[in-house]
Amino acid sequence: MSKQELVVLGRADTDACCPGLLTAPLDEDQAVELAKVFKALGDPVRLRLLSMIASREGGEICVCDLTPAFDLSQPTISHHLKLLRQAGLIDCERRGTWVYYWLLPETTDKLAGILTRPGQPVPVETRS
Amino acid sequence: MSKQELVVLGRADTDACCPGLLTAPLDEDQAVELAKVFKALGDPVRLRLLSMIASREGGEICVCDLTPAFDLSQPTISHHLKLLRQAGLIDCERRGTWVYYWLLPETTDKLAGILTRPGQPVPVETRS
């Protein structure tokens, strides 16, 4: 998973960009940028795709393993994946016939951070 | 802030409802419910409203203090506030002429929790 390691190394960037949603009023530019990411998450198919990608053992998943879980056409699935990718939530690489997807954890980390109240412990997700 | 205390006491409920977005594939019902909340956050005006409400000293804010920050009509602001309320992110109470809004922190806590990778520390928001 060299790609994910590269992503994690890039996390310093997110520290500089994260507005505090709960600690101070967002300015217009911050709100526009952040709304794009939340909008990408505001669809059940995209949430299911993201959860399948993020929870996949090994850290990446072939599009050929995503499509059968949905009663949707391949182009529709690809469109949803493109929106997740444009929001910086996932990335992908073509290898031969198939495209493989993986989570960009710095984006979900950033969202978790801005949704966390100062001085509050975050509820720990204990389910497998 | 007796209302916020009541909300915090109700947090046990959220433990039972939170799917793990990053730890396991969401089922369709979980994805539909969660998408509603993210969709409510997927708009710059609603994000700015939420940040103004959440960061307000004292924990609540009059709608009369929200509207002047936007170049939008009162009905438009009220519509956005209604969507945030329907998503369980805020609640409100009318007192005389004005309506007062406050954050429902169990919802943002829940979102922060499901966006947190298992075993990962959450980025701490240090800005004031």
- Report ipTM (2 d.p.): 0.81
- B48: closest chain A residue by CA: A26
Would the CB atoms of A20 and B125 count as touching at under 8 Å?
A: yes
User: What confidence score (pLDDT) does residue B121 get?
Assistant: 57
**Which band of pLDDT confidence, cut at 50, 70 and 90, is reported for residue A45?**
very high
Contacts of A31 in chain B (CB under 8 A): 44-45, 47-48, 51
CA distance B32 to chain A (A): 5
Q: Please give the order of strands across the beta sheet that includes A60-62.
A: A60-62, A98-103, A90-95
Q: What is the pTM of this model?
A: 0.81
B4 pLDDT higher than 70: no
Q: Does A54 touch chain B (CB under 8 A)?
A: yes
Q: Map chain B to HEC letters.
A: CHHHHHHHHCCHHHHHHCCCCCCCCCCHHHHHHHHHHHHHHCCHHHHHHHHHHHCCCCCEEEHHHHHHHCCCCHHHHHHHHHHHHHCCCEEEEEECCEEEEEECHHHHHHHHHHCCCCCCCCCCCCCC
Average pLDDT over residues A52-66: 94
A27 pLDDT higher than 60: yes
